[in-house]
Amino acid sequence: MEYKVEHIGIAVKSFEKSIPLFEKLFNTTCYKTESVDAEGVNTAFFLNNQSKIELLESQSPGGVIDKFIEKRGEGMHHIAFEVADIYAEMQRIKNEGFTLLNEHPKEGADNKLVCFVHPKDTNGVLIELCQAKK
């Protein structure tokens, strides 16, 4: 199955500071913000040519993104790859010996089904598989 980079996720402490910074950097506006309550994150999206960047902000102290920033600092959190059939790809990856962080796809931001591959199996990089909901 071919992978296409869907977006790169960046963990940030504050949208208040980070959205204007990335708007200035990319010379474009943030086109969408969204809360993903199931994950405890707020997301902000930027489109620069064909590339999408997703900023991730913790909804509360002690949330997943907050813990990530405490451990590693602000910066790249994950790379998301678009797949045509997330169920088939999850099974294929599992059969190859990779550890999935969830057994079934979850509702993600930007109208996607998502699944994460544990970074211990991918040289420390958190990989997200995503498929547009039909």
Residue pair 55/19 in contact (Cβ under 8 Å)? The answer is yes
Measured distance CA(115)–CA(105) in Å, rounded: 5
pLDDT digits (tens, 9 = 90+) for 11-65: 999 999 999 999 999 999 999 999 999 899 999 999 988 889 999 999 999 999 9
Global model pTM greater than 0.85: yes
Q: What is the pLDDT, as a whole number, of residue 34?
A: 96
**What band does 134 get if pLDDT is binned at 50, 70 and 90?**
confident
CA distances from 80 to 20, 21, 41, 75, 114 (A): 23, 22, 16, 15, 9
